[in-house]
Amino acid sequence: PPPLSEMKEKNPWHTPATIIITVIFVIAIVALVTVAVLQNKPLPPKYKYGIVLDAGSSHTALYIYEWPAEKDNNTGRVEQTHSCKVKGPGISSYASSPLKAGESLKVCLQEAEQWVPNKRHQETPLYLGATAGMRLLNMENSLASDQVFQAVAATLQKSPFSFQGARILSGQEEGAYGWVTVNYLDDRLTQVCGLETTGALDLGGASTQISFVSSSYDGSESPSNSVSFRLYGNNYNLYTHSFLCYGKDQVLRLALAHLSQSGQSTVEDPCFHPNFTESKNYSVLYDSPCVSDRKPHGAPVAFTHKGTGNFSLCQQVLKNVFNFSHCPYSQCSFNGVFQPDLQGTFGAFSAYYFVMNFLNLTDTAIPLETVKEKLATYCSTPWPQITQQHKDVKLKYLAEYCFSGTYILTLLTEGYNFNSDSYSNIRFIKKIKGSDAGWTLGYMLNLTNMIPAEAPDTPPLPYAGYVSIVTIIALVLVIIFALCLYRFWPRCPKQPQII
Ligand SMILES: Nc1nc2c(ncn2[C@@H]2O[C@H](COP(=O)(O)OP(=O)(O)OP(=O)(O)O)[C@@H](O)[C@H]2O)c(=O)[nH]1
Ligand SMILES: [Ca+2]
């Protein structure tokens, strides 16, 4: 037999060739895995920003949105990072001192400077959109509304952001952008072959919007109520209407105007709690284009607004603010406005949410009849008891929840024709995934071209998936190679046993 040392040398695993090949493989695997891991490590995110000011009738709010810089016209989520409520009333209330409208925005603009990184300030678009309050002021006194816009624009121009203009949104825009926001946040637009969309219900102080897609409606019956979109490769034919003067503050005026037609000095109001009394001025009540033509002649300066707390009577009063007497179309909601059949689910936000949330009635699984009973009980509760129970709530808000809740139910059922079944399709919402429901996000997405008409082309695999698959295939090849090496390498014959 050969000497033992010779036999050792013949072990194929110990030949220089095997050792070199093995070392190269180990290095290759380590290198491959290192590259995959390093490449796959998330880069520090770079964000872009956009700012929208919602100049509503009752107040102005500033919203800051951010999105990953690499993905602006992709499906990369745009998110609200901050919001700031401007102190004081809406800009339309500054008609007689327009400069103050501009001043009022400064605190929130300064706050925005803190939230957007300095190096992004210059490239961050800043928009201001005004809604029903400015629509009404513009109707009433267009010079005053122009002056308010001048003052507001002057302030926004001075900010470090890229000011893109301040304007009044049309009612269609307000409704349509609210719908875009809700469906964008709900991820309903990017689905291939269209998931059913969600309708949008917005209740403001001076106007209210309803927007939804109904398969029975092609837009031809009432073109002024239809908006067509092509988003992510899907076509949408949206029905939308904005009812000016049907926001909750203006409806309160309409209802009080209805109750005070004789110009009496005490106005009994079933929509306010028993024992609630407040002195109000006739000229203040009628100082709005929504009611100005109804001012009773020879009324005293002031009247006492006295609550009686009766839900059914309140519903009767509120039904009277709608006109059902004429409909020039196949079907209408109210005031001769066309409305197709309701379809699908609805997101109801702004005052719909504030009010129903306070009343603990956001759960629409509660039958409509029960909701009415609970509201009836709430309305009949005397005012002193209500104030005792809710010491932390602003008195102005607190006084109006019975009225507002009753208006919401009357608007939904009598106005828009929701019934006890379709009522359960409504979701009362404030935010979706951290962003407020409202028209501002949809407005910004549109103006920054962030929703493409066509679905973006996406690679068949995401980057991480691609790297992982390459690594796995490489590892499998290496294992197969090693197994072959082990199986087919010439081995030395079995050593004879020396006995
Ligand atoms: N209870 C309660 N009411 C609120 C709150 N914020 C606003 N409101 C009231 O709810 C109503 C609607 O508010 P918004 O949705 O801000 O209305 P807006 O945008 O100013 O008005 P529009 O221009 O008509 O859209 C107004 O009567 C507000 O006074 C809140 O936090 N709680
Ligand atoms: Ca609003």
| Torsion angles phi and psi, residue 97, rounded to 5 | -145, 70
- Residues found in the chain: 499
**Nearest-ligand number for the alpha carbon of 404:** 1
The answer, yes or no, to whether residue 39 has pLDDT greater than 80, is no
Question: For ligand 1, what atom is nearest to the CA of residue 358?
Answer: 1
Integer Cα distance of 122 and 124 in angstroms = 6
Query: pLDDT digits over 144-166, tens only?
Result: 999 999 999 999 999 999 999 99
For residue 131 and ligand 1, the question of a CB distance below 6 A is answered with yes
Pocket probe mutation, ligand 1, options 62, 350, 390, max atoms within 8 Å of Cβ: 350
**285: exposed, middle or buried (Cβ count in 10 Å: 0-12, 13-18, 19+):** buried
Instruction: Name the residue with the closest Cα to ligand 1, atom 30.
Output: 354
For residue 57 and ligand 1, the question of a CB distance below 6 A is answered with yes
What mean pLDDT do residues 477-483 have? 77
Pick from 270, 257, 254, 250: nearest CA to 375: 270
Secondary-structure percent of the chain, ordered helix, strand, coil, rounded to 5: 45, 20, 35
Q: Give the pLDDT confidence score for residue 29 in this predicted structure.
A: 73
**Nearest-ligand number for the alpha carbon of 398:** 1
Q: Which of 66, 173, 174, 400 is catalytic?
A: 174
pTM for this entry: 0.86
Q: Give the pLDDT confidence score for residue 26 in this predicted structure.
A: 76
Integer Cα distance of 182 and 57 in angstroms = 21
Contact of 140 with 96, CB cutoff 8 Å: no
Mean pLDDT, all residues of the chain: 91
Pocket probe mutation, ligand 1, options 354, 398, 403, max atoms within 8 Å of Cβ: 354
- DSSP secondary structure letter of residue 391: T
Integer Cα distance of 350 and 210 in angstroms = 13
DSSP, residue by residue, 197-230: PPEEEEE-SSEEEEEEE-TT--S-S-GGGEEEEE
DSSP, residue by residue, 269-329: ETTS-TT-EEEEEHHHHT-STTTGGGPPTT--SEEEEEE---HHHHHHHHHTTS--S--SS
H/E stretch holding 436: strand 435-436
Integer Cα distance of 379 and 371 in angstroms = 12
Question: For ligand 1, what atom is nearest to the CA of residue 132?
Answer: 23
332 token code pair: 């209408």
Q: Which residues pair with 163 in a beta bridge?
A: 126
**279: exposed, middle or buried (Cβ count in 10 Å: 0-12, 13-18, 19+):** exposed
Residue 86 Cα to ligand 1 midpoint, Å, equals: 13
Q: Is 207 annotated as belonging to a binding site?
A: yes
In this structure, of 2-11, 314-323, 330-339, 353-362, the range with the lowest mean pLDDT score is: 2-11
Instruction: Name the residue with the closest Cα to ligand 1, atom 26.
Output: 205
DSSP, residue by residue, 351-370: HHHHHHHHTT---TTS-HHH
The answer, yes or no, to whether residue 56 has pLDDT greater than 60, is yes
Pocket probe mutation, ligand 1, options 58, 170, 250, max atoms within 8 Å of Cβ: 58
Residue 204 Cα to ligand 1 midpoint, Å, equals: 5
Q: Is 206 annotated as belonging to a binding site?
A: yes
Note the helical H segments in 41-190. Answer: 98-104, 106-115, 132-140, 142-158, 171-185
Q: Is 79 a catalytic residue?
A: no
In this structure, of 40-54, 306-320, 374-388, 427-441, the range with the lowest mean pLDDT score is: 40-54
Q: Give the pLDDT confidence score for residue 147 in this predicted structure.
A: 98
Higher pLDDT, 3 or 62: 62
Q: Is 209 annotated as belonging to a binding site?
A: yes
Q: Is 497 annotated as belonging to a binding site?
A: no
**Residue entry with tokens 């002056």:** 147
Residue 350 Cα to ligand 1 midpoint, Å, equals: 6
Query: pLDDT digits over 118-136, tens only?
Result: 999 999 999 999 999 999 9
For residue 132 and ligand 1, the question of a CB distance below 6 A is answered with yes
Collapse the DSSP code of 496 into the 3-class scheme (helix H, G, I; strand E, B; otherwise coil) and give the result. coil
Q: Give the pLDDT confidence score for residue 30 in this predicted structure.
A: 79
For residue 56 and ligand 1, the question of a CB distance below 6 A is answered with yes
For residue 248 and ligand 1, the question of a CB distance below 6 A is answered with yes
Contact of 218 with 179, CB cutoff 8 Å: no
Query: pLDDT digits over 199-243, tens only?
Result: 999 999 999 999 999 998 999 999 999 999 999 889 999 999 999
Q: Is 205 annotated as belonging to a binding site?
A: yes
The answer, yes or no, to whether residue 391 has pLDDT greater than 90, is yes
Integer Cα distance of 149 and 226 in angstroms = 29
